[in-house]
Structure 1
Amino acid sequence: MHPNLHNLKAYPFERLRDILADISPPSELTHLSFSIGEPKHGLPDFLKRVLNDSISGLNYYPSIKGTDCFRQSAADWLKTRYGLKANGLDINSNILPINGSREGLFAFTQFRIDPTKSPLIITSNPFYQIYEGAAIIAGAGIKFLDSLAENNFTPDFERITEKEWERCQILHLCSPNNPTGAVMTVEQLAKAIELAHKYHFTIVSDECYSEIYLDEESPPPGLLEVCEKLGNDSFKHCIVFHSLSKRSNVPGLRSGIVTGDQQLIKRFLQYRTYHGSSMSPTVQLISEALWRDEKHVIANRALYREKFSVVTKILNPVMSFPEPKASFYLWPKTPIDDVNMTRDLYAQKNLTVLPGQFMARTSEGKNPGKNRLRLALVPTVSQCGEGAMRIASYIRGL
């Protein structure tokens, strides 16, 4: 077996199951879950028709590269969403399908890391746990860059030493961020690009929450648009992952894209030819329809906006949290230890949340997720309100 397998850490939801295993929640309360970031909104109305029309795609072996139509639909969306140049993305050299961002992020790390050169992956902390698992299997060291309140929960690149930048092969960015909801500015993204060109590492930007934001007039900036603003029209050193899971409420579809630096995309295609991660033709046809429709995405945002309005109004008097900007997470401070509060909420209120420390690692002597909770506002509006009231009731009873 792979020698690094034993270094993998228990996944947050495995740890959550362990700490709740001995608890019997009150049966008179309906169970509510804020723990897993699984979208629950309804599917777009047109999806059933598209699914029926695309079922014949199962008769064919899929191409690793995907169909021209699939890649064109994604390219058109990227150009519209980020104001990219009409000729800025070549569907034959800048875009590949991936079976959800999780699969793509893990595979890209294995492809990109050269384990013979003492590689380092730099990632914000707290973080999406796939970044760490992929680094471990690839044989890379990990530098955790704490995202703290004093820096608006975004990474502070000044905390990285010259030697660490020289070892860096991948810088992971996640904006909008899981779990903090923070959004990096154009200036911060530009600084990352400047550093990538100076030290020749790859920026891997996970933008799967890009379409869930609270201010309809202020969508989060993306790495590709900042590349073009800086004159980096070839997107050199920059790779971006997008997914339909959150944008279109189809986490079971397992559909996304990887885009950016065409030299890296070309070599990644070669890797994936052997890796065998091709997307079903049926999934590609469904995905095309989703990338080309924006109405359901706008409606999606409106629902999340309503949830945040309801929940923050209830929790503001009893908890402090960063002002939500994007994603569907709330990142509040806890009045007691976050693990103990998680157990109490399940035992007393039949409510499941995720301890913040499970989303982070101890760095520089502290865990930046400790005494915070990640609340995924994915149930219905009324259920989100009910869950928030249970939390508020619990805190007032301390």
Structure 2
Amino acid sequence: MNPLINSLHPYPFQKLAELLEGITPNPEKPLIKLTIGEPQHDAPQVALDALSENILGVNKYPGTKGELSLRSSISNWAVKRFKLNSLDPETEILPVSGTREALFAITQTLVGGKEQPLIVSPNPFYQIYEGAGILAGAERHFLPCDSNAGYKIDYQAVSDDIWQRCEIVFVCSPNNPAGTVTTLEEYDFLLKKAEQFNFTIVADECYSEIYFDEPPLGLLEACKLLGNSSYKHCLIFQSLSKRSNLPGLRSGFVAGDASLLKPFLLYRTYQGCAMPAHHQATSIAAWNDEAHVEQNRAIYARKFESVLSILSPVLDVKKPEAGFYLWPKVDMTDEEFCTSLYQEEAVLVLPGSYLGRVVNGENPGSKHVRMALVAEEQECLEAAKRIKAFLQRRQA
């Protein structure tokens, strides 16, 4: 057995299950889960129609690279969304079966060219960054994303010794869980360091289409603005899960530096993870339609406005720049908040410390909880009212 498997940490939801073992939620109230970032809005009809009309695609083996029609629809969407001059469907785009497997696989592809390889990750973070790094044999260097800096990452605090060893820097923008967005100035700094020290910027952008004001800046968009027309050292990871409420479709794409996507395609050819033909047809329909995305954003905007009007007077919480999470700071341990709220109000949230790691004696996720506002509006409002009642009892 690969001995590195024993270095993997329990997944946050496994830790949550262990925390709640033997604890019963209030039986007088239906349980409301705000834990998993799984969109529960209706999937777009245009995608469902395409899926049913192309179901006979199961009769054929799909190609790892995906159909040109899919790559072209992705290119058209990305060029328009990020105001790009071009994005070559042949060399700069690769469809993937969701960003989760692709983020893991790209790490196995890219890590290993340097002695004592290292990946740089935000802290708290999406757990795949860490697990992929562990199994690739890379050391992890965590950068705090905490309230002290407004939940922004200070990349300039990283020493050149770290950048020298770095092979991947994971950028999650919009950030999970804090909802902050990486700026052009921050990307400019990272691009200069990537050029100097030869590492890859891997931008996880799966929340980019859930925003409230201006569309969040994307990495490829930053490349264009900064004169990096070939997207050198840069890859973006996009998904239909959040944008189009299609988490079960497992469809997304990687785009950017053609010199990185060529070996990644070779890796994936051996990995055996080609997207089924009927999923590709469904994805084309979803990427080609923007109306359902606009409707989806409007639903989230209403939910955040309503929920925050209830919670803001009793909780240290702010509207994120983008994404569908609230990341409030609490006045007790995050595990105590979670278990007490579960027992008293039958509302389940995720302890923030489960998403982070202790560095220099501190876990930047501690005394925070993550709330995913993915359920229907009335259920989210009911959860907010229960959380408010829970907090008011403690503040009385």
- TM superposition score normalised by structure 2: 0.98
Task: Please list the CA deviations of residues 82-115 of structure 1 after superposition, one character each: whole Å capped at 9, or x if unmatched.
Answer: 1100xx2111100111110000000000010007
- Map 1:351-390 → 2, pairs under 5 A: 351-390=347-386
Aligned residue identity for 1:168: C
Partner of 1:281: 277
CA distance in structure 1 between the aligned counterparts of 2:70 and 2:24, rounded to whole angstroms: 47
Pick the aligned partner of 1:256 from 252, 259, 263.
Answer: 252
Deviations 1:233-278 (A, max 9, x none): 1100001100000000000000000010000001111111111111
Deviates more, 1:152-161 or 1:262-271: 152-161
Is residue 2:18 matched to residue 1:50?
A: no
Matched, 1:325 2:321: yes
The 10-residue stretch of structure 1 (300-309 or 48-57) with the greater mean CA deviation from structure 2: 48-57
- Report the alpha carbon displacement of residue 325 of structure 1 after superposing the two structures with TM: 1.2
Partner in structure 1 of residue 112 of structure 2: 114
Q: Distance in 2 between matches of 1:345 and 1:23?
A: 11
| Bigger mean CA deviation after superposition, 288-297 or 316-325 | 316-325
Tell me what 2:88 maps to: 90
Cα shift readout 1:35-55 (whole Å, capped 9, x = no counterpart): 000000011122332112111
1:65–1:269 contact (8 Å) kept in structure 2: yes
CA distance in 1, matches of 2:45, 2:279: 17
Of the three residues 100, 110, 130, the one matched with 1:132 is 130
Letter paired with 1:93: T
Q: Which residue of 2 aligns with 1:177?
A: 175
SS of the residue 2:253 aligns to: strand
Percent identity between the aligned chains?
Answer: 46
Residue in 2 aligned with 1:65?
A: 65
Summarize the alignment of residues 239-318 of structure 1 with structure 2, pairs less than 5 Å apart: 239-318=235-314
Report what 1:12 is aligned to.
12
Secondary structure of the structure 1 residue equivalent to 2:45: coil
User: Does residue 1:336 correspond to 2:344, yes or no?
Assistant: no
Cross-structure match for 1:36: 36
Letter paired with 1:241: F
Deviation at 1:379, TM superposition (A): 1.0
Partner residue of 1:155 out of 153, 156, 159? 153
Aligned residue identity for 1:20: L
User: Is the contact between residue 115 and residue 138 of structure 1 (CA under 8 Å) also seen in structure 2?
Assistant: no
AA aligned to 1:35 is: T
The alpha carbon displacement at 1:149 in A equals 2.4
Contact 1:64 1:277 in 2 (8 A): yes
CA contact (8 A) 1:335 1:395 kept: no
Measure how far apart 1:59 and its partner are: 0.9
CA distance in 1, matches of 2:104, 2:334: 29
Give the letter for the 1:162 counterpart. D
Paired AA for residue 199 in structure 2: F
Counterpart-to-counterpart distance in 1, 2:130 and 2:11:
11
The residue type paired with residue 50 of structure 1 is A
SS, match of residue 29 in structure 1 = coil
Report the 3-state secondary structure (helix = DSSP H, G, I; strand = E; otherwise coil) of the residue aligned with 1:122.
Answer: strand
In structure 1, distance between residues paired with 2:243 and 2:51: 18
Counterpart-to-counterpart distance in 2, 1:109 and 1:396: 46
Are 2:124 and 2:365, in contact at CA under 8 Å, matched by a contact in 1?
yes
> How far apart are residue 116 of structure 1 and its match?
5.9
* One-letter identity of the residue aligned with 2:129: Y
Extract unaligned runs of 5+ from structure 2.
none
The separation in 1 between residues aligned to 2:327 and 2:314, in whole angstroms, is: 13
Quick one: distance in 2 between partners of 1:6 and 1:321? Answer: 37
Q: Structure 2 CA distance, aligned partners of 1:52 and 1:373?
A: 39
Distance in 1, matches of 2:301 and 2:360, equals 36
Q: Secondary structure at the match of 1:117?
A: coil
2:190 maps to 1:192: yes
Mapped contact 2:311–2:317 kept (Cα < 8 A): no
2:102 — aligned with what? Answer: 104
TM-score by length of 1: 0.97
Counterparts of 1:47 and 1:81, CA distance in 2: 20
Q: How far apart, in 1, do the equivalents of 2:181 and 2:154 lie?
A: 13
* The 10-residue stretch of structure 1 (159-168 or 184-193) with the greater mean CA deviation from structure 2: 184-193
- Alpha-carbon distance between aligned partners in 1 of 2:48 and 2:83, rounded to the nearest angstrom: 31
1:158 Cα deviation after fit? 2.0
1:76 partner letter:
N
Displacement after TM superposition at 1:75 (Å)? 0.5
Per the alignment, in what secondary structure is the counterpart of residue 201 of structure 2?
A: strand
**Cα distance in 1 for residues equivalent to 2:144 and 2:19:** 25
Counterpart of 2:72 in structure 1: which amino acid?
Q
Q: Which of 151, 165, 168 lines up with 1:167 in the alignment?
A: 165
In structure 2, what is the equivalent of residue 209 of structure 1? 207
Runs of 4+ more than 6 Å apart: none
- Over aligned residues, Cα RMSD in angstroms? 1.0
Provide the rounded CA distance (Å) in 2 between the counterparts of 1:237 and 1:320.
Answer: 38
User: Equivalent residue for 1:227?
Assistant: 223
Secondary structure of 2:340's counterpart equals: helix
